[in-house]
Structure 1
Amino acid sequence: MPEASPTRGAIDHSHRVVLTTAPARAYDPEVATDGPAPRAPFVLTIDVGTSSARCALYDASARPVPGTTARRAHEVATSAGGGAELDPDALIASVVALIDQTLSRAGALAREIVCVAPGGFLHTLVGLDAKGRALTPVHLWMDARSDADAAQLRRELDEREVHARTGCMLHWSYLPAKLRWMRRTDPARFARVARFVSFPDHLVAQLLGPGPTSISLGAASGLFDQHRLDWDDEMLRAVGITRAQLLEIARDDRRLSPSRGAIAQRWPALARVPWLVPQGDAALSSIGAGCATRERAALMVGTSVALRVLFRAREVAIPDGVWGYRADETRMLLGGALNDGGSLVAWLQRTLRLPEHDALEAALREPFDDRLLVLPLWAGERSPGWAGRAHGAITGLALHTRAVDVYRAALEGIALRCAELDARVRDAVPEVREVVATGAGLLASTAWQRIVADALGRPLVVSSEGEASSRGAALVALDRLGIVPGVIDGIAPSGPVIAPDPARHARYRALGERQRALYRAVVDHDETGGS
């Protein structure tokens, strides 16, 4: 991997980030929108996702400080064989630049930062050498090259028992299959790896030095026992690694200290500020959307789609049909996920000649073509069927079919899959009374919000929080530092409510039956290799 420019936080060969001083620019209250002035103290949040990274300042009321949010997009390197990777050094450099920008925009307010709260995407894997340098790219959850290895694990292990302990299926989106794939395809490099870590943990280690991982990141790996809050020894044996090759799992009250002088030189405001151990963005997104109770499910549509319920539970049996990850020592996260959300929407927008946003939204409200049906499995399947080799399909095409018709059918197809997830989640957590829509993909389209509400057949609360995972990180920091104790449990969602139309819901129920029939035909073909 090419070395990044030192001014952007390059990794040198002594395992430290090369940091140089960045110019400051004072916070300008003129950029603030109508509302109360930011209230100290402040939390600096870092949020790294599949398609972009963000940094922002939040105040003591968990409100973003206007003008301080910095964002950078990054492009996943994909391959025909199913690969999906990011360059770890380039991604770290990008995050360093984002911190620069946020602190510069904060100006004098930066002196009142009391915590840095990093978070990021789940199911990532980076192999490090003994000095903490990356030997591998960042392997993402969507990297499907380990499908054959997942199948081999299913032959060797009892998947139901594995799921009951780890909350995860034996699927290519989780780390066990990826580790087996790495060991099988590149044994020399696998043997050189001293530590296997998530990217958020690697990022913070490069800035602060080696540290632990959080329960929320470890719990989503497929290597973690959700009941003992520890690594699962059977899974470690199955993939051929030891505990010494994984990070210590930190308890909730653990703090990290910026001991390196380079941090103080580049970011004086952060010289003595504690950092939280990096958290997984799934739980953070639910917290930020006000969904930390059994009564609310968060429907997040970003690059992928997830329907999640977060609630307090010291012990819980993980039901069939959903995954289950510990969010922390006292909370459980149950749900399901689809690979195709914003990623499929972006693919359609690149591929089809679609009108601009406003015209497209208007076109989506026109009468629809019932003959069109989309099975949105372009990137394979996770929940609910976990068919690793599944592919997408479009049926009902005709000479009169327009690009916007295909686009709408795809949005409907994703909404129908959300309804499948909702049915599984309701079986697992029957107390759920409302669904809260979050994520840039869904919040950007009122027409899609209406489609989702009609497909679910129950009211959809459209969250007013544009960056739920960043806000969630701020809320966790405010709670754990004792600034606003118990704030996570008291947050409720805000935003308009879309009531479902009974006639359209009935139509979607019928369309859902057709989609399930198409799913069975396509998945049977894909899983048997067409035989």
Structure 2
Amino acid sequence: MTDQQIPTTESIPLASAPTPYVLAIDIGSGSTRGCLYDAYARPVKKHMVKVDHAFTEAADGTAEVDADQIVREVGEVIDGALKGVEPGLVKAVVMDTFASSLVCVDDAGDALTPCFTYADSRSAPQLARLREQLDEDAVHQRIGARLHTSYHPPRLLWLQDEFPEIFEKTAQFLSLGEYAYAKLAGISGAATSTMAWAGILNRRTCELDEELLAAVGVDRSRFAPIIDPSEPLTDVSPDVARRWPALAGAAWFPAVPDGYASNLGVGADTPTTSAMSAATSGAIRVIVDDTPEVLPSGLWAYRVSRTQSIVGGALNDVGRVTLWLQSTLAPLSYEQIDELLRAAPVEGTPLMLPFLTGERATGWAGDARAIASGVSSSTGPRELWRGAVEGIAVSYARVFEQLREVNPDIQHVVASGGVTSAYPAFMDVVAQALGFPVQVVNVKRVTMRGAAALALQVLHPEHPLATVPQTGLTQPDAAQRPYYDDLRRRFEGLYDAVIAH
């Protein structure tokens, strides 16, 4: 098949969609989705279902969601996505979820706690204790992740301190995807990437790090077996075929983190192409062979399999900042936002550190909060919006700079996510801060498509996937470089003065 004959990612009616089909499920920060995909990883029309949810958040750092509610949502989206699909046509079920989730489960397999999410920072005191006890640089190089509230180690200590009875009753510590699979299909197994994103996988051995588990007082037996993406599970509960005849005989791929799926969804599956996501949270990531020998302090390197890693850094707050601005401090029309983001930068724009729920890359200050500097009586919604977006853009640039240290062969930055579609000019500012072209791709539900692509590449590696349509390339303007260089210096100065101390 020639490139001209390979279709794009546009959705297709069921009657025209070639088999085999894959059922993909995406558990995000704001919703659970399910969709049927054809052999080209194209969504099948009228077979996509979405159920909204929201994290429970509080000023003490709480950011959690009801794990059993999510299980019910997953069942609901499977019901809807499979309507009218005959048995034998769906060959795989695959899931992606927001990463670094944790559910405590008892001997009966029932949840003892809500799902603690990546944004929950209540373990900040335990994080400080771990950083005093351990050589954080050594942990980072061994695990590929810093000690941080987003990850399991401080959270496991927090559970012991704050909920000792629950901790003692916990038979297994599961990710949200594992819990949903266990409840709905009787499956036990954690993806390599899921354990890596939890901050407890040794990136050299691809096994749970015994030194770190010993430091937090948790035995390896309380975690599920680790499964590579090429090892789907077929030994599922008979209840699956009874409830969903269309899934009889289907292989179930262990749930993977949304960051990994996002790269696959936009075709950023080689070391020359990095993927930038801009949704509720954000990230820049590149998939490389094996794992980097030395990792810069601001990045993570998560194993996605025994042969590959994904390297990058994440931002807690991207779309979350835009939603906060619109709902509280600086509501503007989409036309006004588009105009101000396309405009040249203006001296005197407020300097903002956009850490509403804490910082991950590059400084890993889990208890950081947003800061605005240079606000005066003349500052209005437009100036606040511009300052916030510039702050997010600099945060991306800090990650990208270290990413190119690891992999100087990056030739393309491909951007996707809800923010890129809601605010098309957003990436204009980001490209200026990066000093590097940014290509926005036009594909819906990137992470869910990436999950489907993962399954199809394992089951039918010889079959091509649909091509991803691209929009115009955003080029940096050399005339704006001095402004963004100065912005970066001011950002780092404020960060060092307030956050780093």
1:121 maps to 98
1:46-61, aligned counterparts within 5 Å? 46-61=25-40
2:360 maps to 382
Q: Does 1:438 align with 2:416?
A: yes
Q: Does 1:480 align with 2:458?
A: yes
Q: Using the alignment, how far apart are the partners of 2:15 and 2:286 within structure 1?
A: 31
CA 1:502/1:140 → structure 2, altered by over 3 Å: closer, same or farther? same
Greater RCO (CA < 8 Å, at least 6 residues apart): 2
Q: Using the alignment, how far apart are the partners of 1:68 and 1:501 within structure 2?
A: 43
CA RMSD of aligned residues (A): 2.2
2:112 maps to 135
Q: Does 1:504 align with 2:480?
A: yes
**The one of 419, 443, 446 aligned to 1:465:** 443
Q: Using the alignment, how far apart are the partners of 1:270 and 1:56 within structure 2?
A: 13
In the alignment, residue 76 of structure 1 is paired with which amino acid?
F
Q: Using the alignment, how far apart are the partners of 2:252 and 2:191 within structure 1?
A: 12
Shift of 1:120: 1.1
Q: Using the alignment, how far apart are the partners of 2:261 and 2:119 within structure 1?
A: 20
Tell me, what secondary structure is at the counterpart of 2:301?
strand
Tell me, what secondary structure is at the counterpart of 2:227?
coil
In the alignment, residue 38 of structure 1 is paired with which amino acid?
A
CA 1:353/1:420 → structure 2, altered by over 3 Å: closer, same or farther? closer
Q: Does 1:76 align with 2:55?
A: yes
1:4-403, aligned counterparts within 5 Å? 37-104=16-83, 107-108=84-85, 112-257=89-234, 259-313=236-290, 316-366=293-343, 368-371=345-348, 372-403=350-381
For residues 447-491 of structure 1, the C-alpha deviation after alignment (integer angstroms, 9 at most, x for no partner) is: 11111111111110101222221111111111111x134868x97
CA 1:244/1:487 → structure 2, altered by over 3 Å: closer, same or farther? farther
Residues 358 and 367, structure 2, Cα contact 8 Å, conserved in 1: yes
1:424 maps to 402
Shift of 1:37: 3.9
Residues 337 and 423, structure 2, Cα contact 8 Å, conserved in 1: no
Shift of 1:239: 0.9
For residues 494-521 of structure 1, the C-alpha deviation after alignment (integer angstroms, 9 at most, x for no partner) is: 3321111111233212111111111111
Tell me, what secondary structure is at the counterpart of 1:383?
coil
Structure 2 unmatched runs, 5+:
1-9
Q: Using the alignment, how far apart are the partners of 2:31 and 2:140 within structure 1?
A: 31
Structure 1 unmatched runs, 5+:
1-30
Residues 390 and 522, structure 1, Cα contact 8 Å, conserved in 2: no
For residues 74-112 of structure 1, the C-alpha deviation after alignment (integer angstroms, 9 at most, x for no partner) is: 1110122111100001111111111112112xx246752
Q: Using the alignment, how far apart are the partners of 1:355 and 1:296 within structure 2?
A: 34
Q: Using the alignment, how far apart are the partners of 1:140 and 1:83 within structure 2?
A: 9
* TM-score (normalised: structure 1): 0.88
Shift of 1:351: 0.5
Shift of 1:439: 1.3
Residues 11 and 43, structure 2, Cα contact 8 Å, conserved in 1: no
Shift of 1:125: 0.6
Q: Using the alignment, how far apart are the partners of 1:314 and 1:150 within structure 2?
A: 26
Shift of 1:368: 4.7
Q: Using the alignment, how far apart are the partners of 2:214 and 2:205 within structure 1?
A: 17
Q: Using the alignment, how far apart are the partners of 1:338 and 1:392 within structure 2?
A: 13
Shift of 1:343: 1.1
In the alignment, residue 239 of structure 1 is paired with which amino acid?
V
Q: Using the alignment, how far apart are the partners of 1:44 and 1:33 within structure 2?
A: 15
CA 1:323/1:315 → structure 2, altered by over 3 Å: closer, same or farther? closer
Q: Using the alignment, how far apart are the partners of 2:492 and 2:197 within structure 1?
A: 28
Residues 87 and 248, structure 2, Cα contact 8 Å, conserved in 1: no
Q: Using the alignment, how far apart are the partners of 1:292 and 1:179 within structure 2?
A: 33
Q: Using the alignment, how far apart are the partners of 2:377 and 2:149 within structure 1?
A: 38
Shift of 1:367: 5.6
CA 1:476/1:415 → structure 2, altered by over 3 Å: closer, same or farther? same
Shift of 1:35: 13
Residues 213 and 220, structure 2, Cα contact 8 Å, conserved in 1: yes
Q: Using the alignment, how far apart are the partners of 2:135 and 2:300 within structure 1?
A: 16
Residues 284 and 473, structure 1, Cα contact 8 Å, conserved in 2: yes
